[in-house]
Amino acid sequence: MFSTDDTIVAISTPLGRGGIGVVRVSGPDASRIACELIGCGDALVPRYATFARLRATGGSVSGAFVPDQVLLTLFPAPHSYTGEDVVEISAHGSPVVLESIVRGAMDAGARLAEPGEFTLRAFLHGKLDLVQAEAVADLIDSVTPLQARAAFDQLEGTLTQSIAGVEQDLFELTAKLEASLDFPEEGYHFIEPTAVITAVEHVIARVDELLSNAARGRLIREGAQVVIVGAPNVGKSSLFNALLNANRAIVTAVPGTTRDLLSEQLDVRGLAIRLVDTAGIRDTIDAIEEEGVRRARGALDVADLVLVVLDRSRVLEGEDEAILAATRGRPRLVVLNKSDLQSRAPSMPDAIEVSVLTGDGLQALTDRIADTLGSAPERRDQPRVTNVRHADLLTRARASLTRAREAVAASNGALAEEFLLADLQDALASLQEITGKRSTDDLLRHIFERFCVGK
Ligand SMILES: Nc1nc2c(ncn2[C@@H]2O[C@H](COP(=O)(O)OP(=O)(O)OP(=O)(O)O)[C@@H](O)[C@H]2O)c(=O)[nH]1
Ligand SMILES: [Mg+2]
């Protein structure tokens, strides 16, 4: 379905200006196309940078030729990122220059790469498995060092290896059962029912181990939305600024200052948090403020964690009570702000007292945010499942394994190998879908769509 016999080209560095920019060419004609771009007489020397000047290719792809000095490096197949001949062309990082190089390569016969097509080709040529290909996208998208480390571990194959281990155990078990099926007349089981149960339980335990920190893994990979809500003037924007350590939101003594949602990225103990400041929730006849309140309620609905801010220096009012009621039963922290002033609010167990003004209690609040979201320190030696796709497939594998175990337990010694095998093979199929040993075009398309062109 996916063609790999043509040569693709794309700008691999981000859009915009930089000291250098890189155009990547991959495919059987990569070397010839690169030579046409610079008019080289000799072939490029593998893995040596060659300094050259671009020359006009004079082809049909529209746009004026732009001269530049470039460095070309040829990585011959199979020792390249994609497993094909790859030429990386480093030029000055100007979009005008880089686009001209891409046009020149297209004049010489290259096709513009689809999103993620370089990594897709790496997968199709067996340079990476699916877990590693997804890790490339995660690493590029990471915004905290913890996210980057988790992605890098997967790129290095830690998860791949442990899934391969589970797969191997399962494979050995199915082989024995198949042997029993192949010699039915002997009435001989190559493996006894009790041994089957032990073996299946062992595999289940390994899957459980992988699944045990998947929820936290997902949080690492996807980050969390933390939304600050409260009545007007309680200090939401002040808290937002303090947590960000930046003067981002307008703070005034006028209730109803914030009208729109403000959101910023924040690193809390390695977790990528999107912190959202909202308009003070109250009934209002001001049309702008009313829209702000509507947006605040919307943000509340999608939050992974809600920070309900109350003003400790005044008695609780209807608005405060309404917000407390609306957030009851969902992940939230109640923040009693303005602890520098005389307290007039009732004391609340579990609420965190802070004074954004003096900074009192802010560290404790940050710790509570991290704890609540589940950022406990963890063992580095464990492979981490961070991707929901992987977690879902592991869960599916587990369900098939459980069915197999129950079937054996209920069989009273008379093993029905066929049924057992069907369940175990389902489990095996789920595991193989994680690493891509088994994959459909739809799955691949779905995964590589989220890459950008050039990756
Ligand atoms: N004394 C004291 N004043 C505070 C504290 N935090 C915020 N304030 C003041 O409370 C007022 C309101 O602060 P904001 O951060 O604008 O409050 P808000 O909840 O965002 O208000 P709206 O956007 O109008 O809903 C400002 O005058 C702040 O200086 C605090 O810890 N102690
Ligand atoms: Mg505000």
Contact 133, 364 (CB under 8 A): no
Contact 354, 239 (CB under 8 A): yes
Tell me, in angstroms, the distance from the centre of ligand 2 to residue 370's CA.
23
| Closest atom, ligand 1, to C-alpha of 240 | 15
When pLDDT is averaged across residues 394-406 and rounded to a whole number, the result is 95
pLDDT of residue 419: 84
Any ligand 1 atom below 6 A from CB of 241: no
CA-nearest residue for atom 1, ligand 1, is: 338
Contact 305, 369 (CB under 8 A): yes
pLDDT of residue 62: 67
Any ligand 1 atom below 6 A from CB of 359: no
Which one-letter DSSP state was computed for residue 347?
A: P
Tell me, in angstroms, the distance from the centre of ligand 1 to residue 234's CA.
5
pLDDT of residue 216: 84
Tell me, in angstroms, the distance from the centre of ligand 2 to residue 257's CA.
5
Confidence of residue 383 (pLDDT cuts 50, 70, 90): confident
When pLDDT is averaged across residues 273-284 and rounded to a whole number, the result is 93
Q: Is 45 exposed, middle or buried (0-12, 13-18, 19+ CB in 10 A)?
A: exposed
292 pLDDT above the threshold of 80 = yes
Helices 130-141 and 117-124: crossing angle, nearest 10°?
A: 150
Any ligand 1 atom below 6 A from CB of 82: no
Which is more confident, 87 or 186? 87
Q: What is the mean pLDDT of the chain?
A: 91
Query: What is the share, in percent, of the chain residues with pLDDT greater than 70?
Result: 95
Tell me, in angstroms, the distance from the centre of ligand 1 to residue 270's CA.
28
245 pLDDT above the threshold of 70 = yes
Any ligand 1 atom below 6 A from CB of 233: yes
Those residues with Cβ within 8 angstroms of residue 390's Cβ, 6 or more apart along the chain or in another chain: 131, 159, 214, 434
Question: Which of 238, 309, 336 maximizes ligand 1 atoms within 8 Å of its Cβ, making it the mutation to test the pocket?
Answer: 238
Query: Which listed ligand is nearest to 257 at the C-alpha?
Result: 1
Which one-letter DSSP state was computed for residue 313?
A: T
| Digit-coded pLDDT (tens) for 176-230 | 888 877 776 665 667 777 888 999 999 999 999 999 888 888 888 999 999 999 9
Question: Which of 251, 275, 309, 362 maximizes ligand 1 atoms within 8 Å of its Cβ, making it the mutation to test the pocket?
Answer: 251
C-alpha distances in Å from residue 74, one per residue of 32, 84, 87 = 11, 11, 4
Confidence of residue 379 (pLDDT cuts 50, 70, 90): low
Any ligand 1 atom below 6 A from CB of 278: no
Integer Cα distance of 27 and 7 in angstroms? 4
Residue 82, amino acid? T
Compute φ and ψ for 291, nearest 5 degrees. Answer: -65, -40
| Digit-coded pLDDT (tens) for 135-182 | 999 999 999 998 999 999 999 999 999 999 999 999 999 988 888 777
315 pLDDT above the threshold of 70 = yes
| Digit-coded pLDDT (tens) for 28-57 | 999 999 999 998 767 789 999 999 999 988
pLDDT of residue 378: 57
Tell me, in angstroms, the distance from the centre of ligand 1 to residue 329's CA.
27
Any ligand 1 atom below 6 A from CB of 355: yes
376 pLDDT above the threshold of 70 = no
Tell me, in angstroms, the distance from the centre of ligand 2 to residue 258's CA.
4
Any ligand 1 atom below 6 A from CB of 319: no
